[in-house]
Amino acid sequence: MKKPVSLLFLSFTLVIGLIGYKIYNSNKEKQSNNIALAFMFDNIEEMIESSQFVITGEIFEEPAEYQRQLSDKVVTEHLYQVKVSDVVHNRLNEEFKIGDEMSVSHALLFKMGNTKYALLDESELLKTGKYLLFLNHNPVDRSQFTLVSPNHIYKEDRNGDFLNVIKGTNLNIIHQSDLTNMK
């Protein structure tokens, strides 16, 4: 009597295991979305140290979205046209002056294989307005600049201070007086 019950139990376990394996493999093939970690700063000095170029600038039009192949991944970015209002910090060999226009790339997500990694919980479209931007030259296209971190994008408020448009960071506001100390 024990032998038939044991065989029945073993057969049942084997069938459940095979069904689980089939479900696991079918889900494995589907595309998945994950949140990637993006660099976060705790103070202004860290951001300046990591930046080649810090400006205040005006975003004056909607961005263009494009994808770029980088070795084993595809990066989706928004490309903004920015008009320089003030050069706060410049460690580049190039001179920039008020009124110059430049392209600033804002990475939104990257895809490796069938998996997408969002750089932000919500990919916010930056609206027209004046921003404080911490930038580096784009290593692929030297005519573009990239944000030092997608988590630190500061838009000017009514008081002339800059509020981080990305919520949940330790450095949410940069005061106008802080800009004077950066130069």
Given a cut of 90, whether residue 1 has pLDDT beyond it is no
Cβ–Cβ contacts within 10 Å for residue 160, how many?
11
Rg, the chain, Cα only: 24
Q: What is the pTM of this model?
A: 0.74
117 lies in the same domain as 46: yes
26 lies in the same domain as 54: no
What CATH number did the domain enclosing 55 receive? 2.40.50
Answer for the pair 103, 135: CB distance below 8 angstroms, yes or no.
Answer: no
Question: Tokens 């084997």 correspond to what residue?
Answer: 14
Q: What is the pLDDT of residue 114?
A: 84
Tens of pLDDT, residues 56-102: 999 988 889 888 887 888 888 889 999 999 999 999 988 899 999 99
- Give the burial class of 26: count Cβ atoms within 10 A of its Cβ; 0-12 exposed, 13-18 middle, 19 or more buried: exposed
Tens of pLDDT, residues 15-33: 455 455 555 555 443 344 4
Q: How many domains does the chain have?
A: 2
Per the structure, the complete domain to which residue 63 belongs is given by 35-182
Interatomic CA distance for residues 108 and 143, integer angstroms: 19
Question: Tokens 């573009």 correspond to what residue?
Answer: 144
